[in-house]
Structure 1
Amino acid sequence: MSSTLRPLVIPLLVPLLLAAAPPQAAPAARRLEDAVPDTFTGVERVVAVGDVHGDVEALKEVLRLAKLIDDKGRWSGGKAHLVQTGDIPDRGERTREAFELLMRLEREALAAGGRVHALLGNHEVMNMLGDLRYVAPGELASFADQSPEPDASGTPRGLKGHRVAYGPQGRYGQWLRAHPAVVRVNDTLFVHGGVAPAVPAKTLAELNHWVRQDLFPGNPPGGAKDAQGPLWFRGYALGQEEDEARALDTVLQRFGAKRMVMGHTTDRDGKIRTRFGGKAVFIDTGLSTGYGRHLAALELRDGHVTALYANGRVELVAPAPAVAPAGKVSP
């Protein structure tokens, strides 16, 4: 073949080779036995944000407040870890946008040496299991393009697409089923509702497996629907201090932590609240517009536990002072 013909042949072959290539396989469905990372150590800065309920603009604003994203919505938090404690969907109409934002930030944070942990809340599970009591009409309609088939006559727009999207192989169902209900970052447990002492688990891996049993067919009942499971339990937020203090100490000791950070129970004054000498921290301040749009995030850094608000910072728990050796006076 002459050298003058060779350059013409290559461009002709490329599309033929691409056409002959096998189609790209769809991502494999998640399985119950898949590993779900649950423990992270050596993290310098952790920021936690509570329930979103479909308000992506409020989520963006609080992430900018915490200096985790820039003006264009890109990750700017470096090696920080963001923990979102569940309840992204329901009640607001822009749930999909909030999912997409966190999915993208997961990748960007990981590339920068940080992490985004989007935990399961009870409303994620309700949507995955077909409980649509709190799905706003516009929120449901936004999923219409996720199904190749149109909705049946007389049914709400987006019903079929929602079922596909949250299913085991759906875009958001697959993503959610890859996430834990509880993580420990440094010395802090993060969970949507709370970890009760009665949970049938001695490790976080066992606890997350128990929750995930409800999300995959063919398993015995698990902790995602259990009223005392970590997505629903409100004992530390609402229970009697004396009784719940002992329960909390038992759980913290079992899982090797010194505090627990929870969403789920909304504090209507818009402030982050602590109980039990700072061992329990409640961060559902009503972030979404439907709950008053109270912007707040929790920061854990250098032993300090700090609430971040639009009008400033409030230190909630300071590190314990160092104890001077016997016979010496600390400066």
Structure 2
Amino acid sequence: MRPALLCLLLCPVLLAATPRAEPYSFQGVERVVAVGDVHGDVGALRDVLKMAGLLDAQDRWVGGKTHLVQTGDIPDRGEQTREAYELLMRLEVEARKAGGRVHALLGNHEVMNLVGDLRYVSPGELASFADQSPTPDAPGTPKGARGHQAAHGPEGRYGRWLRTHAAVVRINDTLFVHGGIAPDLPVTTLEELNRWVLQDVTPGQPPGGASARNGPLWFRGYALDDEATWDAGLTKVLGQLGAKRMVMGHTTTQDGRIRMRFGGRVLFIDTGLSTGYGRHLAALELRGDKLTALYPEGRVPLLIPKARAPSVSVQSPEPAAAPRPASRGAKPR
């Protein structure tokens, strides 16, 4: 086969499989701050970042070399998704200049927006994207429908940005992910996990991990099931990925506090940050093996329990797997 023809056949596959330049693993980070689901509430996001000492009064990065991890679900339910995107996009640049990093991970709601499943998008949120398309909305369609689609497309301002993001990162000895990494996945490395998720939002690729029932954006086994069911599997996953613990959002704690399970090897940080979930401001700080919950009333050390921690209490969960698109009137959790 001629080289030119071989390139035409293989180049699209190779490009789709090429990992991003940004690494998925970081070592020697002195301070990490992690925050959970934002759901369109940029005010709550700003407040929790200021509480953690990462923003000043002008919303500029003052976190120095700190790594901020936002564990996904920036969009949906609130009307300030676009403002939250813009804030994190700017902070990515400012943090890097200061020697730190911002890791805005993909959650199931980012992917739903990228593939056009708008069941959780509020009218005001949708309308905020109206200027992103030069074509007016079709008669009888909601304001901003075409702008939202354009903005989240592969060449759109936010679609292009989100498609560069990871679903899973490891910082020092901690894994950060939206839903959780199940032990029975068909991929076993950070690079494979992230490529598998991005298949679902990459044109021309087969179905991947973003819509898989036990994929890293949807899995709730560590949050909802008996610990004995997943104890061995969790040990396997942490060993494969070279980590001591896993930090995740996705499953909202009912009391607005950060929760631990599996002897402190799993932490849940979706405390209901957005106003729609009670505006429970909370962040997790990691300094080596010292873990601290940050709340408006102060810092609370998280001691690793000797016995198994009780199951995390949750609000009504979303479906265990990515649902099929429904009409805008449908509002399943």
TM bin (shorter chain): 0.7 to 0.9
Measure the CA separation in 1 of the matches of 2:302 and 2:17. 38
Q: Which residue of 1 aligns with 2:48?
A: 62
Shift of the alpha carbon at 1:59? Answer: 0.2
TM-score by length of 1: 0.86
Contact map agreement 2:107 2:178 (CA 8 A) in 1? yes
Is the contact between residue 37 and residue 180 of structure 1 (CA under 8 Å) also seen in structure 2? no
Structure 1: runs of 5+ lacking an equivalent: 1-29, 321-331
Aligned AA (1:93)? E
Alpha-carbon distance between aligned partners in 1 of 2:42 and 2:115, rounded to the nearest angstrom = 23
The residue aligned with 1:33 is: 18
- SS where residue 302 of structure 2 aligns? strand
Query: Match for residue 224 of structure 1?
Result: 210
> Could you tell me the percent identity over the aligned residues?
70
Question: For 1:200-254, what per-residue CA distance to the aligned partner results, in whole angstroms no more than 9, with x for missing partners?
Answer: 1121001101111111111111000111100000000011111111111110001
Aligned equivalent of 1:43: 29
Identify the residue that residue 323 of structure 2 maps to in structure 1.
Answer: none
Which of 211, 216, 230 pairs up with 2:197? 211
TM-score (norm 2): 0.86
Q: Does 1:181 align with 2:167?
A: yes
Alignment-mate amino acid for residue 202 of structure 1: T
Distance 1:72 1:242 in 2: 47
Query: Distance between the aligned counterparts of 1:138 and 1:31, measured in 2?
Result: 34
Q: For residue 317 of structure 1, give the secondary structure of its aligned residue in structure 2.
A: coil
Equivalent in the alignment of 1:156: 142
Give the whole-Å Cα distance in 2 for the aligned partners of 1:202 and 1:189. 13
Q: In the aligned structure 2, how far is the partner of 1:82 from the partner of 1:120?
A: 14
Which one has a bigger Cα radius of gyration?
1
CA distance in 2, matches of 1:170, 1:40: 29
Q: How large is the RMSD of aligned CA atoms in angstroms?
A: 1.4
Of 230, 246, 252, the residue aligned with 1:266 is: 252
Aligned counterpart, 2:187: 201
Contact 1:304 1:319 in 2 (8 A): no
Looking at structure 2, the residues matched to 70 and 32 of structure 1 have their Cα atoms a distance apart, in angstroms, of 39
Secondary structure of the residue aligned to 1:183 is strand
The 5 A counterparts of 1:1-331 are: 31=16, 33-35=18-20, 36-317=22-303
Q: Helix, strand or coil: the match of 1:110?
A: helix
Q: How far apart are the structure 1 equivalents of 2:224 and 2:17?
A: 32
Amino acid at match of 1:265: T
Structure 2 residue runs of 5 or longer lacking an equivalent are 1-14, 307-333
1:262-291 per-residue CA deviation (whole Å, 9 max, x = no partner) reads: 000001210000001100000000000000
Aligned length: 291
